[in-house]
Amino acid sequence: MGVNLYDYANELEKALRESDEFLELKKVYDEVNADESAKKMFDNFRNIQVTLQQKQMNGEQITQEEVEQAQKTAQLVQQHATISKLMEAEQRMSMVINELNKVIMKPLEELYGSMQ
């Protein structure tokens, strides 16, 4: 009898929600949202990121002006202490998820060999 992978996935989701990395991310995210100017600045930054990602995925050309605007906005948000903390917490959470993905993919890599 096989195992129910979805039960393990749900346990992993619960563990992620209880992890120090996620709790810190949520705390700082709530701090950004509580500060109206920080929230506005962060939302603008995220909108620019999403727009550029969508253009890339659609094969559309990203203009030099859009690149410069994105860079200016990124520099601005990095200067905001709370947003900077949020971006660092996002990075740590992303690293955890990447490590978990490596663990999850291990059986396929062993079966097919490394894809890298």
What does the alpha-carbon distance between residue 32 and residue 84 come to, in Å, rounded to a whole number? 10
What pLDDT was estimated at residue 44? 94
pLDDT in tens, 69-95: 999 999 999 999 999 999 999 999 999
Q: Which residues of 32-55 are buried (b: 16+ CB within 10 A; e: fewer)?
A: beeeeebbebbeebeebeeebeee
Q: What domain range is 95 assigned to? A: 5-112
What pLDDT was estimated at residue 33? 97
Percent of the chain with pLDDT over 90: 91
Amino acid at residue number 31:
E
Q: What is the CATH number of the domain that holds 25?
A: 1.20.1500.10
Overall domain count for the chain: 1
pLDDT in tens, 46-72: 999 999 999 999 999 999 999 999 999
Reported pTM: 0.82
Structure tokens at 89: 């917490």
